[in-house]
Structure 1
Amino acid sequence: MRLRLQLMGPIRVTDARGQDVTPRGRKARGLLALLGTAPGLRMARAQLQDRLWSDSAPAQGSASLRQSLHELRLALDAALVGGDGWVGLDPALLSVDLRPVPGVGGVTAEFAEGLEIDDPEFEDWLRDMRLSLEDRPSVTDLLLVLEEARGESPQARLLADVVLQEAAARAAVLIPARVVQGPAMGTGLRISASCLGQPGNGGLMMLVLRDMTSGEQLWAQHYPLSPVLRGLRQTGGTVALTMIQAALQVAGQVAVYPLQGVFSFSRTRLLGADQRLRQAEGALPTALRAFLRYTLIIERQTPDPVAALEEAESLCRLAREAAPADPVALAMSALMQSWRGNVSGALELARLACRVSPGHDLAHLALSQALSDAGRDSDALTALLRSDAGPMALLGQASWRMRLALVHLRLGRLAEAEAAAGAALAHAPDCRPALRILAALRHHRGDEAGAADALAALRRIEPDFSLHLMASPDYPVTTLRRAGLLGITRSGL
């Protein structure tokens, strides 16, 4: 049976039918207030006894705690759980609601309103909790609430905590969201990690994401501990992407960054993303607006590329003024320098972005581009491969696969380049660069039918396309031209 615990206003427990099953005892309701705001919804029995029966003798306090827990169990049934020395609420059977509710005269009701327990320790805790909730984030902010990591040993708990903290920090920047620990209210995700066993001995880490409001489980996955320990950033990137995707499910009216639009190749989606980002403040949304203009410019999807370039460079300056060490702002500035042909400037900015945030996906994408510009193609491939597990790279697979295709082309690895371009097209069917590469490489190896298919798709999404245009020096196929792979422009296909 699914239960809902409402803690703003008078404490109230309702079942799936909406019937009130709140325990009548004040101490039982005090237990609900304590457990409902505890990390992981669980507390030590000794701590509960100290909070509610601090004036009682130990034996009497223990007996009183057992009596109140019995009353609570009658109300909650299986939703009240316990173990060796601890008591808790099962989040799979009970959801905690800390959303604000209107009180008398329209004023927001206070936490545990009307609950009076004559114990100094509880009174101090209740006062502090009410003050902390007065300073809580606005309900318009999306939250990532991290529960206390669990594990069978300190080392296992530390590993789970590292993964949670790493992933949440990376996801929060890109959603955007606030990362909090402990009691929180609003819209967002509640995230837990538990480790069973030890690395090397078949140990597993389980991660669970739940909707804060409904308690609904949105995602759960287990990972073998040994690979996690060997690749913390890769695991963190994957978990961060999952947090971003789950956040989109619960966002409702909360504004989130349109990352899928930013990394698309569709003019409509790019311009739509620009309109949404225009309403946000800060270095990241400003730098993302520069990135989508960069795409519009290189893909011939803006009627005035000179003005678009000036706008992109202006946005880069604004982003760096807002946050001089932001890796996305630095990476975008590096890409703009690459477009301008300033190889040394692009390398300097990209390297700085990588020093500020080692392994950052967009920073290494920009570094790969700058190294290609410098003729260091093997180094460009190494830099790119260091970025392909980050959340931005996972969201923008088409862009990262296209960069990989171009690096392979420069290295003369035509089969690998064709495979990477095919992967980019699978992620983004409107990816024009992928279709150009596929058309050229298929023709080069004698696959006329495959080349014709790629050209037909290109003509559908690029109305002014022609083989004559593709052969012109201003058309964006520089890497294919340098590699002598534009024979298709003379094919008549």
Structure 2
Amino acid sequence: MQADTDILRIILGGRFRLELSSGADVTPTSAKAQGLLALLASAPGHERTRLWLQEKLWSDRAREQAAASLRQELRNLRIGLGDNKKILIQNRMVISLDTEFCGIEDDLSPGQEFLEGIDIRDAAFNDWLTAERHHRHLVEATGGAARLANVPGTAAASGLIRPDPAYPGRVPAGLLRRAIVFETFAKPGDPLHVLETAFVSFTALGLSETMSVDVFQGRTPSTPPDAIQINVQSFLTGPDKTGMKVSAEDGARHQLIWSGIETVPNFGAVPVDHPDILRLSNQLIEALADALLLKTEGIPDYMDASLMGRMALRKIFSMQAEQLDEADKLLETAFELDPRGIFAAWRAQLRVIQHVERFDDDADRLIAEAEDHCYTALEVEPSNSMVLAAVAKSRLVLNDNVMACHELATKSVALNPSNPFAWDILSTAKLYAGDHEKAHALAFKAQQLGVRSPHSFWWDMGRCVTAALTGRAEEALRLAEVSHALSPHFRPPLRYLTALYAAQGQMEKAIYVARKLKQLEPDFSLERMAQDAKYPVSPLRKSGLLDKERLSDISGDENVT
């Protein structure tokens, strides 16, 4: 830290101020400059990407205009700061504050408001400000979990708030955690103990990749009494078969939340990585997420980043344009509460879906935004399998970079072999690299791991594509039908069903699904599917299953063209 005479104080409590060590007020007169400094000062690590800042201060402008406005505001701010401009560090992607030359004070005195009186006419900034004030009020109101825990109907009373161990008595905003304790039954040295501990490891990894939870192996005096308890018990059902039973119960009420059981062959070794065991782990993770979501219902003003992320994921996979917009807002807020890479990665994945599903025609903006979110996600969580899978998808679809996709997908699988998203994107990478049979085998694995997931239609469709490319037309047709049945708003199954029914001569069915597709995609036409090389059915073209003549035969139907 430099000498006091060199240091500016950025004061966020009460009226926003920028003061010299002498007490002289050097606050910029520009409201946007004040907002820019406040956004940086309150950010994790005191840095934000340029795109994030543009979205908060110039959300009503086109991307190019917003970028130009940010550059101009930075120039004016640096001029106004004079010799103190060294507090600003900037490059092409990120802007940050150098805390060697500035101090940040964000504590609130009694009666003070965070950024009191700041007036920036931008809805996105004001939404951010409201959220920030809410979380500061939450921390102030609790004085720690102990005081809030006695107030009926609050998050703490429901066992959802836990004090930050680094700051006893204080609840960090947005990091309201829940404890989960695993109990295993096989004794050390027993091969079944290896299976049970491996299951715990896979599940704990999957939970940590998407949620902020405290995981315990066995109850100890320090284990919270309200922790959700997971019982993992394996058993032999014969000389060559092993079973596993898993149950989850609410620690406070001893109420059963979920249970599942699987029996798998041994093949001469403990089946720690058998797809059925890994799938059981994924089912448990989904059940725990649902239980935590239900736990928050009816709690006033409850906001938690992890659960927002789960809600956003459900909205993303609804495959509906308006739901995607809502998911993006949830993920944005989640990242502000808890700056995890997974939230940025899902925002990139969301833009891939918007592009592929043709919900947004501004490809340049989607690519730029996805690139920004990928950069953030990899910077924050470079070893998160879910992050790598989402970034790999973006690199392939939006950047046409097969090599980068393959490298990221390979690492994603290595980090978490129970992640169906990882196997799915590795399958897609193999597909685009021309290794169709390998792609199909990997798509099958992804589908098996996610078969009981709420998003199973996604992996059904992935296997449908590889089946089509490997000449398995009947299999592709069946998988497209299943995918459509599970997700009626998902357009790819309807595209494939239209072409596959037509290729088989089932013209009435082809017309029927084409009409359904047109309801979701108003500019769809059979002529476009048959002739437009940019229409998103390229694997069908390569497979030879896109019969242009038969599509042309039914293209005159007045309700399809």
TM-score normalised by structure 2 residue count: 0.59
Report 1:423-442 matches (<5 A): 423-442=482-501
**Which residue type is aligned with residue 285 of structure 2?**
M
Within the candidate set 438, 441, 447, 1:388 is matched to 447
CA 150–248 in structure 1, closer or farther in 2 if over 3 Å, else same:
same
Provide the C-alpha distance between the structure 2 equivalents of 1:132 and 1:200, rounded to a whole number of angstroms.
50
Partner residue, 1:481? 541
- How much does 1:299 deviate? 1.1
Does 2:296 correspond to 1:236? no
Identify the range of structure 1 (453-462 vs 159-168) with the bigger mean alpha-carbon deviation: 159-168
Partner residue, 2:357? 299
Provide the C-alpha distance between the structure 2 equivalents of 1:167 and 1:375, rounded to a whole number of angstroms.
33
Query: Aligned residue pairs: how many?
Result: 371
Does 2:379 correspond to 1:321? yes
SS in 1 for 2:535: coil
Provide the C-alpha distance between the structure 2 equivalents of 1:354 and 1:104, rounded to a whole number of angstroms.
41
- How much does 1:440 deviate? 0.9
- How much does 1:151 deviate? 6.0
Within the candidate set 405, 415, 422, 2:481 is matched to 422
- How much does 1:197 deviate? 4.8
Provide the C-alpha distance between the structure 1 equivalents of 2:464 and 2:150, rounded to a whole number of angstroms.
64
Provide the C-alpha distance between the structure 1 equivalents of 2:259 and 2:149, rounded to a whole number of angstroms.
41
Does 2:435 correspond to 1:376? yes
SS in 1 for 2:333: coil
- Partners of 1:238 and 1:391 within 8 A in 2: no
CA 298–153 in structure 1, closer or farther in 2 if over 3 Å, else same:
same
**Which residue type is aligned with residue 375 of structure 2?**
R
- How much does 1:329 deviate? 2.9
Partner residue, 2:259? 220
- Partners of 1:438 and 1:451 within 8 A in 2: yes
Partner residue, 1:162? 198
Alpha-carbon displacement from aligned partner over 1:356-405 (angstroms, at most 9, x marks no partner): 44454222222221221121111211232333344599342222111111
Partner residue, 1:207? 246
Provide the C-alpha distance between the structure 2 equivalents of 1:249 and 1:105, rounded to a whole number of angstroms.
23
Partner residue, 2:223? 184
Provide the C-alpha distance between the structure 2 equivalents of 1:399 and 1:421, rounded to a whole number of angstroms.
10
Partner residue, 1:82? none
SS in 2 for 1:394: coil
- How much does 1:132 deviate? 11
Alpha-carbon displacement from aligned partner over 1:207-262 (angstroms, at most 9, x marks no partner): 21112332211222333364694353521332332232233223314441232223
CA 232–261 in structure 1, closer or farther in 2 if over 3 Å, else same:
same
CA 266–239 in structure 1, closer or farther in 2 if over 3 Å, else same:
same
Runs of 4+ in 1 over 4 A off after TM superposition: 99-106, 131-139, 150-153, 196-199, 201-204, 225-228
CA 336–325 in structure 1, closer or farther in 2 if over 3 Å, else same:
same
Provide the C-alpha distance between the structure 2 equivalents of 1:157 and 1:136, rounded to a whole number of angstroms.
38
Partner residue, 1:144? 180
- Partners of 1:347 and 1:371 within 8 A in 2: yes
Alpha-carbon displacement from aligned partner over 1:260-288 (angstroms, at most 9, x marks no partner): 22333211222222211112221111111
Q: Which runs of 5+ in 2 are unaligned?
A: 1-143, 152-164, 297-301
**Which residue type is aligned with residue 168 of structure 1?**
A
Identify the range of structure 1 (469-478 vs 418-427) with the bigger mean alpha-carbon deviation: 469-478
Report 1:12-411 matches (<5 A): 102=147, 140-150=176-186, 154-181=190-217, 182=219, 183-185=222-224, 189-197=228-236, 200=239, 204-224=243-263, 226=265, 229-230=270-271, 232-234=273-275, 235-251=277-293, 252=296, 253=302, 254=304, 255-256=306-307, 257-258=310-311, 259-280=313-334, 281-339=339-397, 340-358=399-417, 360-390=419-449, 394-411=453-470
- Partners of 2:395 and 2:404 within 8 A in 1: yes
Provide the C-alpha distance between the structure 2 equivalents of 1:202 and 1:135, rounded to a whole number of angstroms.
50
CA 328–414 in structure 1, closer or farther in 2 if over 3 Å, else same:
same
CA 266–154 in structure 1, closer or farther in 2 if over 3 Å, else same:
same
Provide the C-alpha distance between the structure 2 equivalents of 1:277 and 1:187, rounded to a whole number of angstroms.
28
Partner residue, 2:101? none
CA 412–248 in structure 1, closer or farther in 2 if over 3 Å, else same:
same
Provide the C-alpha distance between the structure 2 equivalents of 1:102 and 1:440, rounded to a whole number of angstroms.
63
- Partners of 1:187 and 1:250 within 8 A in 2: no
CA 204–429 in structure 1, closer or farther in 2 if over 3 Å, else same:
same
SS in 1 for 2:453: helix
Identify the range of structure 1 (217-226 vs 391-400) with the bigger mean alpha-carbon deviation: 391-400
Quick check: which has more Rg, 1 or 2?
Answer: 1
Provide the C-alpha distance between the structure 2 equivalents of 1:467 and 1:321, rounded to a whole number of angstroms.
44
- How much does 1:103 deviate? 9.9
- Partners of 1:241 and 1:395 within 8 A in 2: no
CA 399–188 in structure 1, closer or farther in 2 if over 3 Å, else same:
farther
Partner residue, 1:125? none
- How much does 1:452 deviate? 1.9
Provide the C-alpha distance between the structure 2 equivalents of 1:103 and 1:473, rounded to a whole number of angstroms.
60
